């Protein structure tokens, strides 16, 4: 059951840095300095609103519609920085840099962690996040293609356990026994014949931002749809956090069954957003756990990258979903970040980085 409540009007945006092409950000755990990645391939430290480039991959990064430097994450102890980008051949790279005591990445320490060959130029996913378990989680799209289109078979990657395309994977990014990374032994497909052990869940089309609730450890996954629906998927930590879940793509999109007949084993979305009602490209958000905006505490904040329409969502114990619009909005919002202060930082390709702060007139 879904319901829509009254708008929440107690917040406003405070612009922290204007930066064209801002796509992702994180805070260095040791220094709490803000770092912002751009679609074009740079990473900049931001101090008092002034940005200084510390990593420049612009000669290596493709910048088409769904390409670029798509994700970044600092290791929880602050010692490494991880970046996810699409190269000029449109393939996916995850790279690592050691980070000095001043919080600045040391360029000469660059190391390749993961390479994924992409069959087409779209659906790259790209988000990186360290989970409460200390492992690195990586969202990968299905590699592109349209059901019934000329790219026959491409969209089936999300149901193929021998491929990590169309999945959320979970790894220890540090090298081990000659490999560039290791696979946690409790990943659900470890030891399954023909399956990639990195996979945590499958059946995703193009996961555009996922996050962990910093209080409960619950996992929220936004998945961009094709023709009709966007999805918000919820997995309670107490129920296994989505381990081995199959979100159903390309068999299902939102509540629609593309294949017909009975489909077993699909985890249906917690909330489906219809293209007919404006939403066309979901940007998954975060659960607010700060102190400055008590009206938002415990609500999941999300939006649509193209049309805006920022909203708050929460799920009751009985599964009922409540949605409340926010009276503030930004265009081209492509990411949300939880700061060390627990507050929400909003990243827009057009407007740079803003912070949600109390509106004294609200």
Domain ranges of the chain: 2-358
pLDDT of 102 higher than 90:
no
Of 43-52, 208-217, 259-268, minimum mean pLDDT range: 259-268
Q: Specify which residues 131 forms β-bridges with.
A: none
Q: What is the rounded distance in angstroms from the CA atom of residue 45 to the CA atom of residue 27?
A: 9
Is 184 buried (19+), middle (13-18) or exposed (0-12) by CB count in 10 A? Answer: middle
CA distances from 332 to 21, 82, 140, 329, 346 (A): 10, 24, 21, 10, 10
Residue 353's pLDDT is what? Answer: 97
Of 25-34, 78-87, 204-213, minimum mean pLDDT range: 25-34
Residue 149's pLDDT is what? Answer: 45
In which band, very low, low, confident or very high, does the pLDDT at 362 lie, cut at 50, 70 and 90? very low
In which band, very low, low, confident or very high, does the pLDDT at 153 lie, cut at 50, 70 and 90? very low
What pairing do the DSSP bridges indicate for beta strands 229-235 and 321-325? unpaired
Residue 152's pLDDT is what? Answer: 45
Of 100-104, 265-269, 286-290, 350-354, minimum mean pLDDT range: 100-104
Residue 144's pLDDT is what? Answer: 83
Contact residues for 30 (Cβ-Cβ < 8 A; gap 6+): 78, 101, 103
pLDDT of 282 higher than 80:
yes
Q: What is the mean pLDDT of residues 220-227?
A: 94
Give the percent of the chain with pLDDT over 90.
80
Residue 204's pLDDT is what? Answer: 96
Residue 101's pLDDT is what? Answer: 83
Q: Taking all residues of the chain, what is their mean pLDDT, rounded to a whole number?
A: 93
> Nearest-5° angle of CA 108, CA 110, CA 115?
155
Residue 322's pLDDT is what? Answer: 96
Tokens of 74: 């600092």
In which band, very low, low, confident or very high, does the pLDDT at 151 lie, cut at 50, 70 and 90? very low
CA distances from 88 to 116, 127, 208, 326 (A): 13, 19, 21, 38
Residue 148's pLDDT is what? Answer: 52
Residue 30's pLDDT is what? Answer: 80
Domain made up of 2-358: CATH architecture:
6 Propeller (2.120)
Residue 134's pLDDT is what? Answer: 98
Tokens of 10: 């107690």
In which band, very low, low, confident or very high, does the pLDDT at 72 lie, cut at 50, 70 and 90? very high
Contact 302, 309 (CB under 8 A): no
Q: What is the mean pLDDT of residues 268-292?
A: 93
Contact residues for 70 (Cβ-Cβ < 8 A; gap 6+): 23, 24, 39, 84, 85, 86, 124, 125, 126, 127
In which band, very low, low, confident or very high, does the pLDDT at 147 lie, cut at 50, 70 and 90? low
- Which tops the pLDDT comparison, 3 or 77? 77
**Per-residue pLDDT tens over the stretch 317-339:** 888 999 999 999 888 999 999 99
Residue 121's pLDDT is what? Answer: 82
Residue 150's pLDDT is what? Answer: 39
Residue 361's pLDDT is what? Answer: 59
């Amino acid at each position: 059951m879904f319901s829509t409540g009254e708008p929440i009007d107690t917040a406003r945006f405070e612009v922290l840095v204007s930066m064209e092409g801002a796509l992702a950000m994180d805070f260095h755990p040791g220094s709490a300095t803000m770092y912002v990645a751009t679609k074009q391939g740079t990473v900049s430290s931001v101090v008092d609103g002034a940005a200084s480039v510390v990593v420049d991959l612009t000669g290596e990064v493709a910048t088409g519609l769904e390409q670029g430097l798509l994700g970044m994450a600092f290791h929880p102890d602050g010692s490494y920085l991880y970046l996810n980008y699409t190269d000029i051949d449109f393939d996916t790279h995850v790279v690592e840099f050691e980070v000095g005591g001043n919080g600045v990445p040391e360029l000469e320490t660059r190391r390749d962690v993961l390479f994924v060959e992409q069959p087409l130029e779209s659906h790259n996913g790209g988000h990186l996040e360290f989970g409460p378990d200390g492992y690195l989680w990586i969202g990968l799209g299905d590699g592109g293609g349209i059901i019934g289109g000329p790219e026959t078979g491409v969209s089936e990657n999300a149901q193929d356990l021998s491929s990590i395309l169309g999945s959320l994977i979970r790894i220890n990014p540090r090298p081990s026994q000659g490999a560039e990374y290791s696979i946690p032994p409790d990943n659900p497909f470890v030891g399954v014949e023909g399956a990639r052990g990195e996979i945590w869940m499958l059946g995703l089309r193009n996961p555009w931002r996922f996050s962990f609730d910093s209080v409960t450890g619950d996992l929220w996954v936004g998945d961009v749809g094709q023709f009709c629906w966007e999805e918000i998927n919820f997995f309670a930590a107490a129920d296994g956090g989505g381990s081995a879940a199959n979100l159903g793509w390309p068999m299902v999109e939102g509540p629609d069954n593309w294949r017909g007949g009975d489909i077993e084993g699909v985890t249906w979305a917690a909330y489906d957003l219809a293209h007919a009602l404006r939403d066309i490209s979901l940007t998954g958000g975060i659960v607010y756990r700060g102190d400055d905006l008590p009206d938002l505490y415990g609500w999941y904040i999300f939006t649509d990258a193209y049309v805006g329409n920022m909203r708050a969502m929460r799920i009751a114990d009985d599964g009922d979903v409540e949605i409340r619009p926010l009276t503030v909005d930004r265009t081209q919002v492509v990411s949300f970040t939880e700061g060390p202060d627990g507050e929400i930082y909003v990243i827009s390709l057009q407007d740079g980085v803003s912070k949600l702060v109390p509106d004294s007139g609200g």
